[in-house]
Amino acid sequence: MNKKQKVITGLAVTAIILIMLRKRIATALNNTSFAAVSDSLFNVISSFEGFYAVPYWDRTGYSVGYGSQYNWDQKRPVAKIDVIDKATAKNWLLQEAQQDFAYVQSKVNVPISDNQLLALSSFAYNVGKEAFNSSTLLELLNSGADINTVAAQFDRWTYSGGVVNKGLVARRKAEKSLFLS
């Protein structure tokens, strides 16, 4: 093997190893702890969700506080009788947001900034883990697509019941802006 072939073979082997290690590298680079961003994530999500002390029906079940559909104190879905205060609502949101945050970290295979992690965690909190996991947004992000192409996917998630929802338009605009910052 001549020198040129050795160099090409070396580069190819290096590229293959990096591709194989991509998830581990991304995990190491995206290793922001929840504690480091929990206040920021709470502020982002709570500003979109608003506070409701009394449960309300939200198409898939009762929600209360800052959009929680799970009663973390009694380990069950929110019921119509679950009236809560702001401190309890914050605690419930942070417990759920921590799960969404960890889920996003586990699904992203490329290095991202803390702001991108916050935006994606807010997005996952709102649309749900399954929707996030099957989204073109995540697929494009993990494929290494241009950041603006990825960010444009936020604009697709503005429908509720088949109709554009003004609140979702505003939320996605803010998440997209955070993602690009």
Question: The tokens of 128 are what?
Answer: 């749900």
- Choose the catalytic residue: 49, 96, 130, 139: 49
Is 139 catalytic? The answer is no
| Catalytic annotation, residues | 49
